[in-house]
Copies of this chain bind each other. A is one copy, B any other.
Amino acid sequence: MTATAVAPLRIGVIGVGRIGRMHAELIAHQVPGAALGAVYDAHEPSARSVSANLGVPAAGTAQEMFGDSELDAVAICSSSDTHVELLVAAADAGKAVFCEKPVSLDLGEVDRALGAIEAAGVPFQIGFNRRFDPAHASVREAVASGAVGEPHLVRISSRDPDPPPLDYVKSSGGLFLDMMIHDFDMARFVTGSDVVEVFARGALRIEPSFAEAGDIDTALVTLVHADGCLTAIDNSRRAAYGYDQRVEVFGSLGMAVSENPQAHTGAVVSADGVRRPPNPYFFLERYLPSYVREWQAFVEAVKGGATPPVSIPDARAPLVIGLAAGRSLREGRPVRIEEVQAA
């Protein structure tokens, strides 16, 4: 093995808010073969704080990072509306690029960004971290190995502990593009089959103020897959018992499920029955191992010259499903995926 082979992949992180800061810390401390090269944030104090804590330079502009020949890759973790320009710039600079979801809420813009990436041939991975959760991944493996046979029915429940603020919701693209987009990805991932039709029903049950944003907080969606599998996805913005993320694939030979971890494995048994603790509160507690594994997969792919495991088609398809879900909700009818593709 040459010196080059063992050199760490040097990654710069653009945007160090809550999620970007977490990525920076993971890259710095917990991802073998990776090194944090620099950080940047439009909000300078955030960049300075992370820079000081992790002992890496804070770039003055994002562009500075693209020009830095010591950086092998960039992680785009800034606000969604900046992703397209940054992806195009990364492609131009020839950097491997990891991007938090979504690429954009606008399909034309998504295609512009992904087109630039494709043309440049730079390694690209989109941040659907749940694919790397060991339990969800075990469901996919059970399907891929044939252990559950042909998938017939899928159930996905995804419920947050608390709704985001109204201001966030207003620019989020709505529940289907902000929250259920992870579940659309999960449905494609675990079945290995694309979606051809969407039927959505939604309601405002938790946070009436979301009406101002024209959004819903509760939804139930039916997907029809190309192979005939039927998927039900439900979402809620508030589960009183904490973050709830479950996936189930039922097929001709059996069923694979991923259930919620509990905060710990203690229980108290009394005349009132058995009491166990609630779920871990939210995604940082539940999905931390998935983020580490997500980075391991990216680093391994880039270093090995392979296409990263969640790449261009996976970045686009869930957005299309989400747009179809929105149309279904507005028009009160099932919507074919090609209706949106054509748009």
User: Which A residues fall within an 8 A CB radius of B?
Assistant: 25, 29, 55, 133-139, 142, 147-150, 152-153, 155, 157, 159, 199, 201, 203, 205-206, 218-220, 222, 224, 228, 230-232, 234, 236, 238-242, 244, 250, 252-278, 332-334
A152-B205, A155-B157, A241-B255 given. 17 additional CB < 8 A pairs?
A25-B29, A142-B266, A153-B220, A203-B230, A222-B222, A239-B255, A240-B271, A241-B254, A241-B269, A244-B255, A254-B271, A255-B269, A256-B269, A270-B278, A272-B278, A273-B276, A274-B278
Given contacts A135-B265, A139-B266, contact A150 B254 (CB under 8 A): no
- Chain B nearest CB, measured from A278 CB (Å): 5
Tallying the copies of this chain within the complex gives: 4
Residue numbers in B under 8 Å from A275 (CB-CB): 272-276
In the bound assembly, the distance between CA atoms of A93 and B201 in angstroms comes to 48
From B139, B199, B241, B257, give the contact of A271 (CB < 8 A). Answer: B241
User: In the complex, A205→B153 CA distance in Å?
Assistant: 10
Q: Output the nearest chain B residue to A242 by Cβ-Cβ distance.
A: B271
Knowing A234-B155, A250-B236, A275-B273, the reply to whether A258 touches B265 (Cβ < 8 A) is yes
Assembled-state Cα–Cα distance A169/B134 (Å): 35
- Inter-chain CA distance A148–B255, complex, in Å, is 26
The reply to whether B252 and A269 contact each other, CB–CB distance below 8 Å, is no
